[in-house]
């Protein structure tokens, strides 16, 4: 791992844990065990570091999701594996991180938003089409429309007016949303498959 990769990996970890606004460059440097001068060789300022960390995070997630798609034997397994992956990654996430990004770091938020609305929406649409073909999802569903509804709903989960972090933990919100999503797209065959999967896990 290069020095730049170390900086971005550790910075991402710290931003996820502590949020964006209050974490200082001095604290990041201390956690990395290097000087701020060294960090500034790879970024212009904290906003630039956040933007580059977001780019690195997106790149890693894209690779991880490709592996999940290849590993899943059907559309439902892919959705459940993606759910487990996201749940693993959002545990311990600062609830204000997306809100702070949107308010104080618009360039990084634009990257996050573009990634969500383009790559993730495309991936969801592809999964829906796969599930329809396999008979696990409703055949009367429009993948393009439903995938956009999915993305819109996920964005609303970050709305601090609707779901303030002091009252709602994001993992709980996402779990409820995914249960809602699955029951809206599953066919009778798909519902039976999910129920069987639950029985196997008990």
pLDDT of residue 94: 67
pLDDT of residue 50: 97
Q: Which portions of the chain are predicted below pLDDT 70?
A: 92, 94-95, 198-202
At 117, list the tokens.
Answer: 């609305």
At 10, list the tokens.
Answer: 């550790």
Contacts of 182 (CB under 8 A, 6+ apart): 79, 194
| CATH class assigned to 51-201 | mainly alpha
Comparing CA positions, the residue from 158, 172, 190 lying closest to residue 77 is 190
Contacts of 138 (CB under 8 A, 6+ apart): 132, 185, 186, 187
Helices (H), 91-160: 97-104, 106-114, 121-134, 143-157
pLDDT of residue 104: 95
Entry pTM: 0.87
At 186, list the tokens.
Answer: 């599953």
pLDDT of residue 201: 45
pLDDT of residue 199: 44
What is the Cα–Cα distance from 186 to 40, expressed in whole angstroms?
A: 50
Hey, where are the domains in the chain? 51-201
Comparing CA positions, the residue from 17, 67, 14, 69 lying closest to residue 39 is 14
DSSP, residue by residue, 14-83: HHHHH-SSS--HHHHHHHHTS-HHHHTTT-SSHHHHHHHHHHHHHHHHHHHHHHHHHH-SSHHHHHHHHH
């Amino acid at each position: 791992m290069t020095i730049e990769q170390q900086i971005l990996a550790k910075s991402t970890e710290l931003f996820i844990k502590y949020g964006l606004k209050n974490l200082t460059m001095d604290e990041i440097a201390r956690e990395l065990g290097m000087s701020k001068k060294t960090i500034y060789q790879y970024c212009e300022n904290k906003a630039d570091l956040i933007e580059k960390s977001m780019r690195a995070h997106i790149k890693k997630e894209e690779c991880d999701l490709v592996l999940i798609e290849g590993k899943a034997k059907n559309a439902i397994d892919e959705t459940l594996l993606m759910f487990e992956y996201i749940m693993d990654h959002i545990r311990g996430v600062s609830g204000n991180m997306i809100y702070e990004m949107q308010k104080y770091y618009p360039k990084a938020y634009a990257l996050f938003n573009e990634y969500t609305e383009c790559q993730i929406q495309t991936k969801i649409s592809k999964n829906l089409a796969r599930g329809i073909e396999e008979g696990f999802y409703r055949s009367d569903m429009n993948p393009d429309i439903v995938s956009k509804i999915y993305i819109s709903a996920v964005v609303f989960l970050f709305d601090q007016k609707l779901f303030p972090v002091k009252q709602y933990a994001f993992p709980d919100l996402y779990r409820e949303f995914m249960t809602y999503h699955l029951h809206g797209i599953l066919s009778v065959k798909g519902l039976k498959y999910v129920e069987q999967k639950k029985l196997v896990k008990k």
